[in-house]
């Protein structure tokens, strides 16, 4: 497996202040890039969540090498305050899909082919392909509009619903015939993003995760959130403000050119930090 650099690692570490020790929660452990840095940086205990057991298996192997103390939990971070019953010093949410998941044939990427699944947790819930074939044009168009920022959602939804979709290749084929050639890749990626957000209820989880983080943080504790599109950002800003978080980043922090050349997925990343 290729080693990936965790997104915006430097500001994550600067805002979390792990060098002072304490308990930290990584809501989206993935393969453990940020978690590893948090443990190496001086955390006394790291509690790592992920819905995807395969990510946690890789993370565990990596974190064992740090010699630090950690607990991995296969759970939705929306329930972070039901699982973590101690006050913590810092919480990290690095939302969305990991580079590893994008590289697998699980439906996250139109480039990889295979089953149109898209669930982070493959033990429960509806696959993207089941959603597409069950829903109607109106609902599908709403999903494309709200989670993919697509310009002509009804037209696209109608084209998709004219067919019975079985896998990534079939959906991609229809979309290639729908979009103008020069724009096709970008627009197809947006359709895939919208379906993934719907299938995993990502915005609802994000809102509950920010609320849960507030409840488990000590006074003065920090929440760092990395988002990848405008819908996520809106949810984070609104929920954090409703909860009474103090925002530490007036403008979101973005990766520099050097970082996104090394890791193209970081291109749209925006980091916000909050204090309780």
Give me the residues that bind ligand SAM (CB under 6 A), please.
6, 28, 30-34, 49-52, 55, 76-78, 94, 96, 98, 120, 200, 205
Handedness of CA 129, 189, 226, 99 (dihedral sign): positive
**Nearest Cα residue to 191 out of 233, 134, 152, 248:** 152
**Nearest Cα residue to 30 out of 69, 63, 68, 65:** 63
Nearer to ligand SAM, 34 or 127 (CB): 34
- Smallest separation (angstroms) from ligand SAM to the CB of 106: 10
- Smallest separation (angstroms) from ligand SAM to the CB of 63: 11
N-term to C-term CA, the chain = 38
Nearer to ligand SAM, 141 or 225 (CB): 225
- Smallest separation (angstroms) from ligand SAM to the CB of 193: 13
- Smallest separation (angstroms) from ligand SAM to the CB of 161: 27
**Nearest Cα residue to 205 out of 225, 182, 179:** 225
- Smallest separation (angstroms) from ligand SAM to the CB of 34: 4
Nearer to ligand SAM, 55 or 172 (CB): 55
Tokens standing for 107?
A: 């439906």
Nearer to ligand SAM, 77 or 147 (CB): 77
Alpha-carbon distances, residue 27 vs 9, 94, 213 (angstroms): 15, 8, 9
């Amino acid at each position: 497996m290729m080693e990936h650099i965790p997104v915006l690692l430097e500001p994550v570490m600067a805002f979390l202040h792990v060098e002072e020790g304490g308990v930290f929660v990584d809501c989206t452990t993935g393969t453990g890039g940020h978690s590893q840095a948090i443990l190496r940086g001086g955390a006394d205990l790291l509690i790592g969540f992920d819905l995807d057991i395969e990510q946690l298996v890789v993370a565990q192997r990596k974190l064992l090498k740090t010699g630090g103390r950690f607990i991995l939990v296969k759970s939705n971070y929306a329930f972070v305050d039901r699982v973590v019953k101690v006050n913590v010093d810092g919480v990290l949410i690095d939302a969305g899909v990991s580079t590893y998941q994008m590289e697998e044939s699980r439906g996250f990427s139109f480039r990889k082919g295979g089953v149109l699944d898209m669930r982070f947790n493959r033990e429960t819930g509806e696959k993207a392909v089941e959603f597409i074939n069950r829903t109607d044009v109106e609902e599908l168009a709403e999903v494309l509009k709200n989670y993919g920022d697509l310009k002509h959602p009804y037209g696209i939804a109608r084209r998709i619903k004219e067919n019975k979709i079985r896998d990534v290749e079939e959906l991609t084929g229809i979309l290639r015939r729908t979009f103008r050639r020069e724009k096709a890749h970008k627009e197809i990626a947006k359709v895939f993003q919208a379906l993934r957000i719907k299938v995993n209820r990502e915005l609802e989880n994000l809102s509950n995760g920010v609320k849960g983080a507030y409840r488990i943080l000590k006074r003065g504790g920090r929440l760092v959130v990395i988002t990848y599109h405008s819908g996520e950002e809106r949810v984070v800003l609104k929920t954090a403000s409703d909860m009474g978080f103090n925002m530490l980043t007036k403008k979101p922090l973005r990766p520099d050119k050097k970082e996104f050349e090394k890791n193209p997925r970081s291109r749209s990343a925006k980091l916000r930090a909050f204090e309780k």
